[in-house]
Chain A
Amino acid sequence: DQQVKQNSPSLSVQEGRISILNCDYTNSMFDYFLWYKKYPAEGPTFLISISSIKDKNEDGRFTVFLNKSAKHLSLHIVPSQPGDSAVYFCAASALGGSEKLVFGKGMKLTVNP
């Protein structure tokens, strides 16, 4: 049972444009959401997070939006750069869930120069 879903396996955008990565979840106990970026043969790198009491969090070129009623979050990257090309994972943790993270399957972003 996939509790965190990233339904699009890949996305290709032009440099300078906006990248929008989507994530849906099913567990209403999830209270904290994170995005990680991963390059091949490396570990995931933390990008940005959002608590369920917020609907938006911004850090430089990265903004995460949370729609709790729809159980949906998205990561916006603007402007996109070729160095952003990587696999992006959405993750969530639940109150009482011992801090373990539940990950989506990931989405490969390619930013073309």
Chain B
Amino acid sequence: NAGVMQNPRHLVRRRGQEARLRCSPMKGHSHVYWYRQLPEEGLKFMVYLQKENIIDESGMPKERFSAEFPKEGPSILRIQQVVRGDSAAYFCASSRLAGLQETQYFGPGTRLLVL
């Protein structure tokens, strides 16, 4: 029973390049959440998606960031024209259903380093 999968685990990009982070939710889970953790900080919510729909993107920066969760395949968090401040750990979580008391299970994260 595989957990939430994220790849790559580590990603190095130069300023101005694009970063693509992938997340495959647990089997049977159709709700995906992306969080970002800056050094010495807690996790900050970015976006919540269901299959083919963005439910809540209130935590996403207005520019350069986008997310999708297509009908087939993993969820993708895309960061265009990366800057050094984008360096962080990006965690994906999934849940089986929506609802306040549905546990979110986290993946191992992608550590993005922008040079």
Closest to A87 in B: B42
Is A66 on the interface with B (CB-CB < 8 A)?
Answer: no
Which residues of chain B in 10-64 are interfacial with respect to chain A, using CB atoms and an 8 Å cutoff?
Answer: 31, 33, 35, 40-45, 48, 55-56, 58-59
Count the A residues whose beta carbon is within 8 Å of the partner chain — how many?
27
Question: Hey, what's the 0/1 contact readout for A77-113 against B, CB within 8 Å counting as 1?
Answer: 0000000000001010101001111111110000000
Chain B residues near A32 (CB-CB < 8 A): 100-101
Contact of A4 among B42, B58, B108 (CB under 8 A): B42
Is B102 on the interface with A (CB-CB < 8 A)?
Answer: yes
- In the docked arrangement, what's the CA distance between A99 and B102, Å? 8
Question: Hey, what's the 0/1 contact readout for A29-69 against B, CB within 8 Å counting as 1?
Answer: 00110101000011111100101000000000000000000
With A42-B108, A100-B56 in contact, do A105 and B40 touch (Cβ < 8 Å)? Answer: yes
- In the docked arrangement, what's the CA distance between A6 and B33, Å? 23
Contact of B108 among A43, A49, A104 (CB under 8 A): A43
Q: Could you tell me if B100 and A103 are in contact, using CB atoms closer than 8 angstroms? A: no
Count the B residues whose beta carbon is within 8 Å of the partner chain — how many?
31
Q: Which of B6, B42, B43, B107 has the most CB of A within 10 A?
A: B42
- In the docked arrangement, what's the CA distance between A31 and B91, Å? 23
Is B115 on the interface with A (CB-CB < 8 A)?
Answer: no
Which residues of chain B in 47-83 are interfacial with respect to chain A, using CB atoms and an 8 Å cutoff?
Answer: 48, 55-56, 58-59
Chain A residues near B4 (CB-CB < 8 A): 43
What is the minimal beta-carbon distance from A54 to any residue of chain B, in angstroms? 11
What is the minimal beta-carbon distance from A26 to any residue of chain B, in angstroms? 14
Q: List 11 A-B contacts (CB under 8 A).
A: A34-B103, A42-B109, A43-B4, A44-B106, A98-B56, A99-B98, A99-B102, A100-B45, A100-B58, A101-B35, A104-B42
Residues of B participating in the A interface, judged by any CB pair closer than 8 Å:
4, 6, 31, 33, 35, 40-45, 48, 55-56, 58-59, 91, 93, 95, 98-109
A-B contacts besides A98-B48, A105-B40, 11 pairs, CB < 8 Å: A34-B103, A42-B108, A42-B109, A43-B91, A43-B107, A49-B103, A91-B43, A99-B31, A100-B58, A100-B59, A105-B42
